[in-house]
Amino acid sequence: MTGPIRLRRRSDEGAILVIAIIIVTVVAVVTGVVLTRGDGSLRATVALRDVARSSYAADAAAQTAINALRTGHNVGSGEPSPWYYTNRIGTGCFGYDGSGGATIPKDTLTLDNLIPKQTGDTASAMSAAVVCEPEDATGEQGSAVPISSANKPGNAILTLGVGGETGFNFKTNGSGAAFRVKGGIWVNSDIVRDNNGNLESTESIRAHSGCTPFAAMVAPVVDCGAPTAADPNYQSDLAIAGTGIPPLRTPPASCPNNGSVQLDPGYYDDVSKLNALTNTNRQCFVHFKPGAYYFDFHNATGDPLYDSDIASGGSNVWTIGSRKTVVAGTLTSDTTVPGRCVNPIDDVNAQGVQFIFGGTSRLLIQANGQDTAVEICGSYHASRPPIAIYGQKTGTTPAATVVDGVDARTATAVPAPGDFANATPAALQDTGGGEAVWTKVGPGNQSSTMTVDGFAPATTVPKGAILTSARLRVTHKEGAANSSASTVTLTAKDTAGTTVLANTYALPVRASRTQDDIVLATADHANWVALKRAVHDKGFTGATLAYRATLGADGQTASVDAIRLELTYYVPDLRAQSGSVAAVGGDPVIKVEGNTTTYYVQGTTYTPLSLIDLALNNIDESVFRFGVIARALKVFETGSFSYPGAVIELPENSPGFGFERTIVRLEVYLCPGTSGCTPASGALALESRVELFDEGGSPGPPNREITVLNWSHTR
């Protein structure tokens, strides 16, 4: 028999293996997790270390640049020693590049190996480039004068004519020539270029009815179908002050050779007197003191106020010729133009002039091979442009004023009636209103004089008035045939109370009351001319009439029923530009031509009714500063004109910091692992705005102060 079957007990060696596998797996998982977390932390640590490295490098580069600006030590080559950046044209923040006196501005500071790679370092060396850009209107490019849209025109050139005339015509000789403008150009009609060259603007060129040729217009914005721009309608200084026409001025008869004359603000109506100073062969310096000048000449024979007894005939053109220096405004210590008068671009306290042209008055600046220099400086204003030249827009030829005896004789009593009875103002004013009577007593010829004064208008007749007629009107009676001729004596006085004319006129003997008229122009022409000149040059406040009768028989009588002085005259007033000056295609109100002519307007030119014509030849620098507003503008550049800057310009806006403060913007670019870092090869890492302050304008330690206005990392 077979016995029961028994199972053999198994070994536990397999269980141990399973346990081992489980332990290994757990350990592997835990190790993996630990290693993954450690690697992430390591990567984070490395990344943070790279960010810190970039941040440190950017900060270090900016600090290095700031220190270079502070001390001037980290510069290029060729600059003077010591040297500090002051935002002067032609220099860079970090001096010059090159050697041997090179003058290429250096505005980028290259910092190779700024943070070097250390032994065992995984990161590359760090290099940097710092770009410095100065802000306009700071440092030596700045001004202590606040300039903004409130006190400067919107465009450097604005022409307002809308039809029948090219708004801006420019002609250049030479293929490389260009007419350059700093600021915008806006033309309400068209722009035409003759011959060669370009019209260049730093901002924009806009014309309403086309540009010919379009390719010659060079500006960031060119629009030859733009809408028209409005006239800013600036007022003259006279209108703003509400003073009306200023007092008449009479210039000196001549300027001594190699001498000088000074002229006062006021009204000038005789161009021949100005030309005697500025258009002769003498070397002469003419200075116009600060203030408003109104030029309304009456020398043209077609002018309604022309009088050959007062002014010489010809034209209304004021000419500044060869060998003359004319400066208008507050004088400086400089002896050359420009810079002889304080200009409103540089000085908030500038007190200059305003030349106002009315009627058909014009200015021609013309040198024929001999130096002529003209500088006209306007006045600074915070709320309006410093207009130096103004074309009068309103006013017409004044109507004649008629003053007769009724209005003129304002005396309340007759001061010296002599033997005349009833010599009262009421009796002598009107015919039929009573008589002043003298009855002779006794034998032989006797005379008696009645003096009547107070013949004055209600308002004093000012200097510059033009007397067109004067008549004495006497209604009288002498009675008998044996009476002698009576007389009337006219005594006129100027505004100072000085007698300017005393002349006696004969009256016929009248047996019955008769009105006799004495017209001064025909009765005594020489004295009539003298009276006209006296009234024009010295004004008129009143006159005295003295009636003298001579009787020969006892009981005879002489009587005066009325006695009058009748005057007709023009009182000067502001007249808008007119005639050929205001006509389309007419004469320019300002014309500059000739060789070696230097002409500067340190202020705005505003002549909305008239043309300006410039022929530029051997002019070294800007002609019109602070902009030009005219009906039309015509420019001709000769082949010798080579000035590379703007001829007409607007100043930059300025907060009025003055030259003591220079503000620059710094941009730091980083280049890991490379040298010769540039903005193109690097990455922008930091931006900063820094103010440099030089006390009294003298740069360098210990005066220079640095203020960081902002500091911003970009990565």
User: What percent of the chain is modeled with pLDDT above 90?
Assistant: 54
Peptide bond into 213 cis (omega under 30): yes
| pLDDT of 427 | 85
Residue ranges covered by each domain of the chain: 15-142+657-713, 249-398+575-623, 401-570
The SS3 assignment for 34 reads helix
> What pLDDT is recorded for position 619?
61
What is the spatial distance between Cα 593 and Cα 351, in angstroms, rounded to a whole number?
Answer: 28
pLDDT the model gives residue 382: 93
Residue type, 533: R
Q: Distance between CA atoms of 518 and 469, rounded to whole angstroms? A: 11
Q: In terms of pLDDT, which residue wins out, 246 or 452?
A: 246
Residue 630 pLDDT grade (very low, low, confident, very high; cuts 50, 70, 90): very high
- This prediction has a pTM of 0.77
- Please check the confidence at residue 91 and state whether its pLDDT lies above 60: yes
* AA letter at 423: A
> Residue 641: what pLDDT?
66
What pLDDT is stored for residue 377 in this prediction?
97
pLDDT for 168 equals 97
What per-residue confidence (pLDDT) applies to 72? 79
Structure tokens that stand for 32 in this block: 């993996």
Closest of 288, 278, 300 to residue 355, by C-alpha: 288
Which range scores top for mean pLDDT: 50-54, 573-577, 636-640?
A: 573-577
Any idea which of 4-13, 123-132, 393-402 has the lowest mean pLDDT? 4-13
The phi, psi pair for 440, rounded to 5°, reads: -75, 140
Q: What are 446's two structure tokens?
A: 């006797």
Average pLDDT over residues 402-416: 57
Q: Would you say residue 189 has pLDDT above 70?
A: yes
Residue, of 591 and 404, whose pLDDT is higher: 591
pLDDT over 90 at 220, yes or no: yes
Structure tokens at 191: 């722009």
Mean pLDDT of the chain, nearest integer: 86
Contact 568, 401 (CB under 8 A): yes
pLDDT grade for 300, boundaries at 50, 70 and 90: very high
What are the CA-CA distances from residue 293 to residues 114, 341, 457, 688 (Å)?
A: 65, 16, 27, 50
| Position 639 pLDDT exceeds 80 | no
How confident is residue 645, by pLDDT bands cut at 50, 70 and 90? confident
Residue 140 binned pLDDT confidence (cut-offs 50, 70, 90): confident
Give the DSSP letter string of 603-646: SEEEEEEEEEEEEESS--S-SEES-EEEEEEEEEE-TT----S-
The Cα–Cα gap between 416 and 409 comes to 15
**Class of the CATH-defined domain 401-570:** mainly beta
pLDDT score at 38: 47
Cα distance between residue 26 and residue 581, in whole Å: 105
